[in-house]
Amino acid sequence: MFHIASEEYYQDNQIIFREGDLGDWIYVLESGSVELTKNVDGEPVCIGTLHSGEILGDLGFFAKTPRTATARAIGTTVLGNLDRRFLDQEYNKLSGSFRVIIQSMAIRLKNTTQYACRQT
Amino acid sequence: MFHIASEEYYQDNQIIFREGDLGDWIYVLESGSVELTKNVDGEPVCIGTLHSGEILGDLGFFAKTPRTATARAIGTTVLGNLDRRFLDQEYNKLSGSFRVIIQSMAIRLKNTTQYACRQT
């Protein structure tokens, strides 16, 4: 269903990206799992685990923000890089106002995740 | 900038919609403010306040979920109903896979908000 530009292979426990890294690739998880953690007062706090078919990295694309969490492979994991040209084409089809709506949702997700971690 | 179909006027403290209501209109806040609360163990917990220019109600549209919070006017408040035909046209321009990405972000926002409230 997704337009995959390339695949990336990770071993168990290998870091995919770190919180604060620059990057706006969106991935679909083809197999394996990914643990997401945020740094809270110097300690990693798990904010979720992604499984096959789920999307990773969308906030970098929509909210134009550095990576909001550290992503680590759990077990042997395969990620599909969604084709960037396809994503840009799709996004560029949209009017400015519709993009503002999507961007505002992405920024709220970033802020809510930050808040939820502070409450843990 | 937005395509406004109609405007709604609210007095201070008036309910715009309640958590659990069905509804998928998206609004832009034209003036006044809106307080968002969620019911946590029978008590309303404030999860945020929206101000002029901000978007309200997007999860109903993108995540196809009942209203995830109660929205109440703070002061005299004017909301613009975004033109539903325009929103549908924009959304329908997108491929199925791009819609899945946006929908997954909306569902994560809904779940993260729920989690953040439980931690308060």
Q: Is A109 on the interface with B (CB under 8 A)?
A: yes
Q: How confident is the model at residue A119 (pLDDT cuts 50, 70, 90)?
A: low
Has residue B95 got a pLDDT over 80?
yes
Average pLDDT of B56-78? 94
Has residue B120 got a pLDDT over 60?
no
Q: What percent of chain A has pLDDT over 90?
A: 75
Has residue B55 got a pLDDT over 70?
yes
- Of A101-105, A113-117, B78-82, B94-98, the one with minimum mean pLDDT is A113-117
Has residue A120 got a pLDDT over 60?
no
Has residue B49 got a pLDDT over 60?
yes
Nearest to A105 among B93, B95, B105 (CB): B105
User: Is B56:B86 a contact under the CB 8 Å cutoff?
Assistant: no
pLDDT at residue B118, rounded to an integer: 66
Measured CA to CA, the distance from residue B4 to residue B31 in angstroms comes to: 14
Measured CA to CA, the distance from residue B98 to residue A94 in angstroms comes to: 12
SS (H, E, C) chain A: CCCEEEEEEECCCCEEECCCCCCCCCEEEEEEEEEEEEEECCEEEEEEEECCCCEECHHHHHCCCCCCCEEEEEEEEEEEEECHHHHHHHHHHCCHHHHHHHHHHHHHHHHHHHHHHHCC
Q: What percent of chain A has pLDDT over 70?
A: 96
Between chains, do B116 and A116 touch, taking CB under 8 Å as contact?
A: yes
pLDDT at residue B46, rounded to an integer: 86
Average pLDDT of A29-55? 92
pLDDT at residue A41, rounded to an integer: 87
Residues 39-58 on A with a CB inside 8 Å of B are: 54-55, 58
Please name which of A54, A42, A48 lies closest in space to residue A69, comparing C-alpha atoms.
A48
- pLDDT tens digits, A2-12: 899 999 999 99
Nearest to A112 among B94, B100, B113 (CB): B113
User: Is B40:B115 a contact under the CB 8 Å cutoff?
Assistant: no
Entry pTM = 0.88
pLDDT at residue A112, rounded to an integer: 82
Mean pLDDT of chain B, nearest integer:
92
Measured CA to CA, the distance from residue B62 to residue A115 in angstroms comes to: 22
